[in-house]
Structure 1
Amino acid sequence: MNTLPMHHRTPSLSRAYWLEAKYEFLRMVRTPAYSIPVLAFPLVFYVMFGVLMQHGDNAAASRYLLASYGVFGAMGASLFGFGVSVAMDREHGWLTLKRAQPMPPGAYLASKLVMAVIFTAVISLLLTVLALLVAHVTLMPRQALGLIAVDALGALPYGAIGLYIGTRMNARGAPAFVNLVYLPMAFLSGLWMPLQFLPAAIRSLAPVWPAWHHAQLALAIAGSQTEGLAWVHVAYMLVVAAVFSLLAARRLRRVG
């Protein structure tokens, strides 16, 4: 007589997604080369530039940097979470093994997306705590929750870009290439300093980068000055996510 519990006898689609997401998150938490820099960099930079380098009561600058470093954190969590881990999985044969297992085809990528969203939410929450307690930024609860939600939206375009990088690069080259995208895009999007302090040529190119559009959404919620329409920024980010997801899917079908 079969005494196994029902959930062990009957395959469950939701359980497969849940377990894949759970173990992907635990895998990245237990990878110090990923979890420590991804969590620490936005917080350290915010303390340096949003707190220590602000003379007097400069809440406007601290508020701006709260929004922009939340975007910066989302970029790091998603670009490295997809780009480096996919490259490693491909090179070590883990992706081939995943395909051979009886698991939903989308569970692998969905687990990475969930992982990036959770890391991004944690970064955004910690930045908000620093802003409230140390930088003395005033935020309404709906603003704090809005920043977490908007930061999490960045997992879509940055994750898609990282996924494409992971399909093109090997495990050794992926971290360096991700940094070549991550750091310049952050600077050119005005995440480290307002664009009005940068040359006109850089300001004119800022709307090319998805991080600029993401930052405008975060700045609007934080109460800082913004440019453009919210729906345009969201649409641009979704288009970037769709384009790079399609490019990555095509590449994955070729190389596995």
Structure 2
Amino acid sequence: MTTYLRLEILRVLRSVTFTGYTIGFPVGFYLLFTLVFARGMVQGTGFNAYYMVSMALYGAIGAGLMGVGAPIAMERTRGWTRQLALTPLRPGRYLVIKVAAASVLCLPVILAILLAGRLVHGVDLDPLTWLALVPALWLGAMPFVGLGIAVGYTFRDEAAQGVSLAVYFLMSVAGGLWLPTEVFPDWLADVAKVLPTYRAGELSWLLIAGESPVSGGALVLLAWAGAFLGLAAWRFRRAS
């Protein structure tokens, strides 16, 4: 099982498309936006630090959602899961490996963008905040792994890829990861606060502002996580 997990992680990391889109694009987007837009304060913190957190979460969500949903759909379509059924690797263990691989693959983009924020823009946070940001961002992305599982066991091949991209894009934009909700119309800002992307970002935005990440928003994110996991479990049972 550990061997298969290691091979799965290496296989994904060797994919130029995956690493370019989930790591290269968020890092490039972070550098571009922070260089183009005027620096100021957003929710009690500097824009460079705020947007560093936003893009790190954006990339981690992409790694979690795209890293599990599309591969599952592709392997189901091409018959690989039927071949695995002939081996000692049971469907439950296969799913655990996919989730573990996607969870591990969230870390490179988080670290890359935090490093870019520190080295390129000199984002200055105390050591404990830097250390707390990594698990906060990682935990914020984990509910989307459940959503990826549900997509992978619901749609086939290219359809799963398209659905994942659409959900990823819409939730990220509407959830305030591309632009702060302060520039949104009031109605869109209200919508953003219901979305899991906003609440996931809130965990780390509060951290860099020197506030406790434990809030009512964390409960909203937990509710979304429960809904995504429930949907994933239902689709997995149906597909199995």
TM-score of the pair, normalised by structure 2: 0.89
Secondary structure at 1:191 match in 2: coil
Aligned ranges for residues 235-246 of structure 1 at < 5 Å?
Answer: 235-246=219-230
Hey, what does 2:179 align to over in structure 1? 193
Secondary structure at 2:33 match in 1: helix
Secondary structure at 1:173 match in 2: helix
Hey, what does 1:128 align to over in structure 2? 114
CA distance in 2, matches of 1:246, 1:221: 29
Decide whether the 8 Å contact of 1:60 with 1:224 is kept in 2.
no
Decide whether the 8 Å contact of 1:120 with 1:152 is kept in 2.
yes
CA distance in 1, matches of 2:217, 2:79: 38
Aligned ranges for residues 77-116 of structure 1 at < 5 Å?
Answer: 77-103=63-89, 105-116=91-102
Aligned residues: 237
Hey, what does 2:7 align to over in structure 1? 23
Aligned residue type for 2:227: V
Say what the alpha-carbon RMSD is for the aligned residues: 2.2
Hey, what does 1:13 align to over in structure 2? none
C-alpha change, 1:101 and 1:241, in structure 2 (3 Å) is farther
Q: Which of residues 229, 240, 249 is equivalent to 2:233?
A: 249
What is the CA-CA distance between 1:57 and the residue it aligns to?
7.7
What is the CA-CA distance between 1:224 and the residue it aligns to?
7.0
Hey, what does 1:147 align to over in structure 2? 133
Decide whether the 8 Å contact of 2:39 with 2:48 is kept in 1.
no
5+ residue gaps, structure 2, are: none
C-alpha change, 1:37 and 1:125, in structure 2 (3 Å) is same
Aligned residue type for 2:184: L
C-alpha change, 1:111 and 1:141, in structure 2 (3 Å) is farther
Tell me, yes or no, if structure 1 residue 65 matches structure 2 residue 54: no
Aligned ranges for residues 197-212 of structure 1 at < 5 Å?
Answer: 197-212=183-198
CA distance in 1, matches of 2:236, 2:209: 41
Hey, what does 1:214 align to over in structure 2? 200
Aligned residue type for 1:166: G
Q: Which moved more, 1:138-147 or 1:175-184?
A: 138-147
Decide whether the 8 Å contact of 1:124 with 1:147 is kept in 2.
no
Aligned ranges for residues 13-52 of structure 1 at < 5 Å?
Answer: 16=1, 18-50=2-34, 52=35
C-alpha change, 1:56 and 1:102, in structure 2 (3 Å) is closer
Name which one, 1 or 2, has greater alpha-carbon Rg.
Answer: 1
Q: Identity of counterpart residues, as a percentage?
A: 28
Tell me, yes or no, if structure 1 residue 223 matches structure 2 residue 203: no
Hey, what does 1:11 align to over in structure 2? none
What is the CA-CA distance between 1:104 and the residue it aligns to?
5.4
CA distance in 2, matches of 1:156, 1:33: 22
Decide whether the 8 Å contact of 1:113 with 1:155 is kept in 2.
no
Q: Which moved more, 1:81-90 or 1:244-253?
A: 244-253
Q: What does the per-residue CA deviation read over 1:187-206, in whole Å, with 9 as the maximum and x for residues that have no partner?
A: 11111111111111111111
Aligned residue type for 1:149: P
Aligned residue type for 1:230: V
Tell me, yes or no, if structure 1 residue 233 matches structure 2 residue 217: yes
Q: Which moved more, 1:29-38 or 1:113-122?
A: 113-122
Aligned residue type for 1:199: P
What is the CA-CA distance between 1:71 and the residue it aligns to?
1.1
What is the CA-CA distance between 1:214 and the residue it aligns to?
0.5
Decide whether the 8 Å contact of 1:54 with 1:61 is kept in 2.
no
Decide whether the 8 Å contact of 1:64 with 1:224 is kept in 2.
no
